[in-house]
Structure 1
């Protein structure tokens, strides 16, 4: 990587698909403070955009993301520095769930520690069959507490704790079986699978996608009764949208809908 290259590469397409590529290949895309800041800035800008419909997060080089930059952490070992780092990382993870666009992780290589956390916090994830996953902090005396937040919300408790307590790697198919990722494909088919998944979302109403993603994460934190009350209100509001009317009319008329909402 050239020192003048950006830490996050951004590629925007006319159809509304934007790819953000972590660009620290020589450091296995470890999440330095600067890389976290660069990715946060891109996500904030995208969240406010009406032209971006789907986001893909990828990694340059051999790895998807190897987690926090351990060298940087050891060079700034004070508690205040650690608190600031983990708060910054947590805000980034929350941004992914709060932004209106679906975010897809594209995992072509290893995803470890906070890199595995990043996978868990993306809305969807597609991995090459050669990808591997671990929350390996325990191997250096550090329990992966912040990655545990995402893991515990994707995997069953025992599966999550096994990863956290052992630090062992799991392969892509096991990650899929445990609920960490959605799809596994051969490495040379990874981009085509991302295209299929993103294309399916891009074909839907932007209004419905935006409303639905926000509803999904909010209701997860509610009790069952409150969740149903909230979901009913959101769905009633969704039904008032022009896109919903067009979609239902198109279905009944057996034609392709022409969505206009953003």
Structure 2
């Protein structure tokens, strides 16, 4: 909570899928320190919950996330150090949040209903998958206010081609949902009234897979993606070996060979 009585984040879980909803629409779901802490604490609980197989990150109101809370940041300019310590603390906390999403064993799907700006766009780029409403838009407009989106650039440059990322970062211009899909920032674009159902269907499809295979696979994917080719294959081969030794792999391969439906034990 940010000094109020309403929670900043809602958590609902059903059928192996946890839905986290940013619930600060009056502040455009900005990533205040309170919101960042709420997300990190909730993700830490989900990490240890074997009943949750997939996570959806959604938001209330017309804006998915407006990025950092500029009012909160500006208030600290009155500090003795002109805000330097608080600015550094905020950027470190947000960076840790993004890394926690990548490190989370369960895949995370962003369900983007509206504008995702700056660190809000970073949040979408960080999630493993993204489903967007046709009304959604994405931008990194820090350059418009003299504050280049350097931390959002880390996630954005890993999600879309470099020249596309730099154009967004250097101009601050928003792009629509279909353009975001073409660039690879989002996976699917649907009508606004179909967003919740589409994200839920995708999450349920993933949740129905072997949890051990999905967890190993997500870990290996993110570990190898920044490595040289030989190191990437070494990580992937070791993961395949570990996965082959899992009970679910024996179950799944046996079911395939016998033309039956596997019943996962998730180990």
Contact persistence 2:16–2:204 (CA under 8 A): no
Of residues 212, 227, 234 in structure 2, which corresponds to 1:229?
A: 234
Unpaired runs of at least 5, structure 2: 78-82
Which residue is 1:122 aligned to? 127
Q: In 2, distance between residues paired with 1:35 and 1:127? A: 22
- 1:31-87 per-residue CA deviation (whole Å, 9 max, x = no partner) reads 101111011100111011111110011111111101000100100131111110000
Which of 145, 149, 153 is matched with 1:148 structurally?
153
Cα separation, 1, equivalents of 2:243 and 2:38: 34
Q: RMSD of the alignment, in Å?
A: 1.2
Which residue of the partner structure matches residue 206 of structure 1? 211
Match of 1:4 in 2: 5
Look up the match of 1:25: 25
Q: How far does residue 124 in structure 1 lie from its aligned partner after superposition?
A: 0.5
Counterpart selection for 1:95 from 96, 100, 112:
100
Whole-Å separation in 2 of the counterparts to 1:194 and 1:203: 14
Q: Does 1:181 align with 2:186?
A: yes
> Could you tell me the TM-score, scaled by structure 2's length?
0.96
Tell me how far apart the structure 2 counterparts of residues 230 and 195 of structure 1 sit (CA, whole Å).
31
Counterpart of 1:110 in structure 2 is 115
Q: Report what 1:42 is aligned to.
A: 42
- CA-to-partner distance for each residue in 1:176-224, whole Å, 9 max, x for gaps? 1111111000001111211221121011100000000000000012110
The alignment of Structure 1 onto Structure 2 pairs a total of residues equal to 261
1:260 aligns with 2:265: yes
Aligned to 2:176: 171
Cα deviations by residue, 1:19-41 (Å, 9 ceiling, x for unpaired): 01111110110010111101110
Could you tell me how far apart the structure 2 residues matched to 1:58 and 1:195 are?
11
Secondary structure of 2:156's counterpart equals helix
- Could you list the runs of 4 or more consecutive aligned residues of structure 1 that deviate by over 6 angstroms after TM superposition? none
Aligned equivalents of 1:152 and 1:102: distance in 2?
Answer: 20
Distance 2:32 2:176 in 1: 26
Secondary structure in structure 2 of the residue aligned to 1:64: strand
| Residue from 123, 129, 137 that aligns with 1:132 | 137
Distance 1:186 1:3 in 2: 34
CA distance in 1, matches of 2:85, 2:225: 32
Q: Does 1:64 align with 2:64?
A: yes
Distance 2:95 2:8 in 1: 19
Q: CA deviation at 1:3?
A: 3.2
Partner of 1:75: 75
SS of the residue corresponding to residue 168 of structure 2 reads helix
Greater CA deviation, 25-34 or 3-12? Answer: 3-12
